[in-house]
């Protein structure tokens, strides 16, 4: 941490996505719309699950925290991005940059293991339905959740500790719209190979371990579903996993593309597009995926609105 005192860089300049004023205006309006949908969607998901007792199950317990993480994602990146698009000031303080990076790693690592916990929950529900209430007890759910946040905190702490060992005495211009690992490593005066390998190890181990849990769970789920004789039974089993599988595919696809590669393969255009999807668009998609494709959430929304007199009672 002492190297922070030795750096000649006290703030960074976030170049952003484009220099065109017209495109910046269009992007700011688009990002603002996405941000509002993300905030309302994730907050609405949390409220519906909390207010409807029929959704007080392990699956929706994890979904509540998934929505909370997405809510935090939006607030870590999008407000600063909107300010940079709408004003001439593109700067971010040194501590502000590392704080942004800390929370990004924390949230992404935590989300990895919450998604794997949700996959394990689906595995128990489909493969061991009779023992589901006993196995997925509140105690186990809290333990899985605590473990997910613990991994997130540890990953983000070690990540920032490694980055803080670097000195920044050259350019302070970050060719991105937020403080991400690859564009910051490029600015370092030091040899970054060791830091880069440690960061890739942390990101790789977190992603791979959680992805293995998900894959093993779904292999077992698929094996069980194929043994079901009735078509309706198979469709019902598939429908309970469809939303989670779609969310997993989008999340892990962008993470693997952005982070699990060496610094030298960093491509400004492709990585920025992927980063926009990962940090700004993805938090909006999860509440849409888990609500529009989920009858239980739709019915819960109607029940909550009926109790508050918003909808007429449907007989």
Structure-model confidence comparison of residues 306 and 124, the more confident one: 124
Share of the chain above pLDDT 90, in %: 39
Q: Report the alpha-carbon distance of residue 187 to residue 12 in Å, rounded.
A: 10
Q: Is 91 helix (H, G, I), strand (E, B) or coil?
A: strand
CA distances from 14 to 24, 76, 100, 177, 271 (A): 14, 15, 13, 5, 15
Strand partners, 12: 92
Of 3-12, 108-117, 213-222, which gets the smallest average pLDDT? 3-12
pLDDT beyond 60 at 230: yes
Instruction: Determine the angle formed by the axes of helices 94-127 and 58-86, rounding to 10 degrees.
Output: 150
* String of DSSP letters for 143-163: HHHHHHHHHHHHHHHHHHHHH
In angstroms and rounded to an integer, the radius of gyration of the C-alpha atoms of the chain is 21
Mean pLDDT for the stretch of residues 182-195: 84
pLDDT of residue 216: 96
In this structure, what are the phi and psi dihedrals at residue 188, rounded to the nearest 5 degrees? -70, 145
Mean pLDDT for the stretch of residues 125-140: 93
Share of the chain above pLDDT 70, in %: 90
Q: Report the alpha-carbon distance of residue 291 to residue 266 in Å, rounded.
A: 35
CB atoms within 10 A of CB 221: 22
Going by pLDDT thresholds of 50, 70 and 90, the confidence category of residue 193 is confident
Q: What is the mean pLDDT of the chain?
A: 85
Domains of the chain: 3-307 (1.20.1070.10)
CA distances from 245 to 29, 126, 180, 299 (A): 30, 15, 27, 22
pLDDT of residue 42: 94
pLDDT beyond 50 at 314: no
Going by pLDDT thresholds of 50, 70 and 90, the confidence category of residue 246 is confident
Going by pLDDT thresholds of 50, 70 and 90, the confidence category of residue 7 is low
Q: Report the alpha-carbon distance of residue 113 to residue 269 in Å, rounded.
A: 29
Q: Is 307 helix (H, G, I), strand (E, B) or coil?
A: helix
Burial class from Cβ neighbours inside 10 Å (0-12, 13-18, 19+) for residue 191 reads exposed
Structure-model confidence comparison of residues 156 and 167, the more confident one: 156
Q: Count CA atoms closer than 13 A to 43's CA, side-chain side.
A: 9
CA distances from 211 to 95, 229, 255, 286, 292 (A): 32, 29, 12, 18, 25
* String of DSSP letters for 47-58: HHHHH-GGG-SH
Give the β-pairing of 11-14 and 173-174: parallel
pLDDT of residue 228: 81
Going by pLDDT thresholds of 50, 70 and 90, the confidence category of residue 2 is very low
Mean pLDDT for the stretch of residues 137-151: 96
Q: Report the alpha-carbon distance of residue 214 to residue 180 in Å, rounded.
A: 26
Going by pLDDT thresholds of 50, 70 and 90, the confidence category of residue 268 is low
The distance between the two most distant Cα atoms of the chain, rounded to a whole number of Å, is 71
Q: What is the pTM of this model?
A: 0.88
pLDDT beyond 70 at 117: yes
Mean pLDDT for the stretch of residues 97-113: 93
Q: Report the alpha-carbon distance of residue 60 to residue 145 in Å, rounded.
A: 12
Mean pLDDT for the stretch of residues 212-217: 95
Give the β-pairing of 173-174 and 91-93: unpaired
pLDDT beyond 80 at 302: no
Mean pLDDT for the stretch of residues 28-42: 94
């Amino acid at each position: 941490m002492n190297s922070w005192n030795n750096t000649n860089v006290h703030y960074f300049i976030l170049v952003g996505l484009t220099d065109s004023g017209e495109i910046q205006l269009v992007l700011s309006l688009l990002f603002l719309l996405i941000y509002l949908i993300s905030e309302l969607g994730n907050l609405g998901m949390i409220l519906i699950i909390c207010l409807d007792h029929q959704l007080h199950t392990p699956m929706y317990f994890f979904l509540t925290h998934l929505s909370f993480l997405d809510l935090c994602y939006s607030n870590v990146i999008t407000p600063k991005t909107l300010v940079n698009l709408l004003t001439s000031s593109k700067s971010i303080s040194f501590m502000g940059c590392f704080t942004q990076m800390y929370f990004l790693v924390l949230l992404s690592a935590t989300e990895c293991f919450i998604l794997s916990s949700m996959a394990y929950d689906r595995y128990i529900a489909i493969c061991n339905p009779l023992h589901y209430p006993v196995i997925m007890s509140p105690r186990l759910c809290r333990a899985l959740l605590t473990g997910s946040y613990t991994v997130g905190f540890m990953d983000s702490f070690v990540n920032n500790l490694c980055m803080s060992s670097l000195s920044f005495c050259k350019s302070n211009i970050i060719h991105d719209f937020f403080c991400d690992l690859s564009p910051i490593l490029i600015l370092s005066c030091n040899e970054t190979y060791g830091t880069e390998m440690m960061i890739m190890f942390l990101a790789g181990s977190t992603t791979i371990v959680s992805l293995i849990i998900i894959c093993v769970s779904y292999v077992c789920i698929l094996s069980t579903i194929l043994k079901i004789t009735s078509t309706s039974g198979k469709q019902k089993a598939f429908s309970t996993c469809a939303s989670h599988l779609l969310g997993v595919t989008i999340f892990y696809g962008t993470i693997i593309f952005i982070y699990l590669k060496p610094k030298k393969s960093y491509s400004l255009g492709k990585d920025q597009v992927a980063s926009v999807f990962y940090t700004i668009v993805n938090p909006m998609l999860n509440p849409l995926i888990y609500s529009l494709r989920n009858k239980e959430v739709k019915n819960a929304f109607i029940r909550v609105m009926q109790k508050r007199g918003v909808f007429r009672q449907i007989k």
